[in-house]
Amino acid sequence: MTTTSTSLAELKKSAIIAGGFNAVINGIINWFSVKDLDKVLVSDNLISSTEHTLLSGAVPLAVSLAFILSGVAYLTTKIPNKPSYFPKIFWLSMKHTFMAFGIAVTFGVMWQRLMGSIEISPVMATVCTGLIAGIVAAIVNYETTRSLNLKD
């Protein structure tokens, strides 16, 4: 497989930019959810807990970003002979979605097992949420655009 006109360095640069934007945007959005709290749990030991935790919010955030941003990367990538969204990019989006779910849940379970229930400030929760969103956005953007730029 070889790449078309877009170099891997350009793909990485655009992925970092997309990750940065998503980190800031989702961090700000999260701030409005946690700004009035005294503290935020990173994770909780009860699967049926109704309390908001950093990692319980990270799972749906990562999953939704993975699916949505795969489509956004597809729509904003300008290459000749771009494949149709269905089925190739749709299945790539599903792959990114399940990968994000698996990683986020696994990280949450491992965090709870190894670290326990730790409380952090709302500012730290906002920063962590932004970092999670940025990492997911950068990886999804890179993987989607790289897939589109590869010739079979």
Per-residue model confidence (pLDDT) at position 151:
65
Mean confidence (pLDDT) of the chain: 93
Per-residue model confidence (pLDDT) at position 3:
46
Per-residue model confidence (pLDDT) at position 152:
54
Give the whole-angstrom CA distance, residue 124 versus residue 31. Answer: 10
Q: Taking phi first (over 0 means left), then psi (-120 to 50 degrees means alpha), and beta for anything else, what does residue 81 get?
A: left
- pLDDT of 21 > 80? The answer is yes
- Binned at pLDDT 50, 70 and 90, residue 6 comes out as confident
Per-residue model confidence (pLDDT) at position 69:
97
Q: Region 96-103: what's the mean pLDDT?
A: 98
* Every domain of the chain and the residues it spans: 38-47+63-152
pTM assigned to the model: 0.92
**Nearest residue to 127 via CA among 3, 52, 34:** 34
Per-residue model confidence (pLDDT) at position 2:
46
Cβ contact 137:65 at 8 Å: yes
Give the whole-angstrom CA distance, residue 150 versus residue 95. Answer: 17
- Binned at pLDDT 50, 70 and 90, residue 142 comes out as very high
Q: Region 145-152: what's the mean pLDDT?
A: 83
- pLDDT of 37 > 50? The answer is yes
- pLDDT of 66 > 60? The answer is yes
Q: Region 68-90: what's the mean pLDDT?
A: 94
